Amino acid sequence: FIIAFSFLIITSCKNENESNLIIKAEKTLEATPNEENAKALVKAIIDEYEKVKDQPAKIALLKKGLEVANKFDLKQESSSFKLGIITEDPESEDSGNILLEMAKDLKSRNKVEVADIMFKGIATNYESLESKAEAEMTDPTINPDTLIFKLSQTIFPKDDPSNINKVAAHQYVDICEAYALSNPKSEASVEYLFKGIQMSRSLNSFKKSLSLCDMILKKYPDNKKAASALFVKGFIMENNYKQLEEAKKLYLEFLEKYPKDELADDVATLLNNLGKSDEELFKSIRK
């Protein structure tokens, strides 16, 4: 239900000043206010966001992008900017209000259990929004562990484990993500995110997997699951997107950051065999 922010990023023009691109796009949109020009401004904002290192500046850009996206009803872009704001500054009041909006939207689309997980997290972690979140909840006793367990029993039918229940699997991922977003300080959030990564890979939802990997790497870089998230990210880029150069960067980053991790030998092997044909791999194995 939340679109991965990283996949809205486009390649920037290296020979132009990024701030000038935003100004130019703003003037074009002001002169001709339509969806095409709004999307052009959104792209310019995202380019600038990727270049800026200062967190307040990054947050300001995300808020600017959200304002444009909402004004022109760009739903995918709006969701992406919301996720970006929450990720950059999860403890701010703005993040709490955005989470509340997202939960209400989920509830309006009849994703009641997922919405309740988020409402409960908001009530627990944002005191000023506690009463608003509780007023929206359908089931205040809801428990993510119980939901996850029940769903896991229905996702892979015993009579045919290969026939995955996609509706239940997507709900499983949504619950994991909703809990992590609305409970940013909880250690359990990392575990839920990793469960979501594993299930989204089973669904071949690789953009979602990468988005959840990025959430772990950005918000919980010191957690032991960060190494696994980086490994999965590299593996997906190599095997599912065939982006070998990007995979190489990620594998090298892994070996630099986590040289003693239990996955280090596997990563080194993947790196050494990157781009090899089946025949070359066979010869290597024989040797």
Q: What is the pLDDT of residue 171?
A: 96
| Regions in the chain scoring below 70 on pLDDT | 1-18
SS3 (DSSP) at 15: coil
Q: What is the pLDDT of residue 282?
A: 79
Q: What is the pLDDT of residue 91?
A: 77
DSSP per residue over 85-131, as a string? Answer: HHHH-TTSHHHHHHHHHHHHHHHHTT-HHHHHHHHHHHHHH-GGGHH
Q: What is the pLDDT of residue 18?
A: 52
Burial class of 75 by CB neighbour count within 10 A (0 to 12, 13 to 18, 19+)? exposed
Single-letter amino acid, residue 144: P
Distance CA 225, CA 240 (A): 21
Q: What is the pLDDT of residue 157?
A: 81
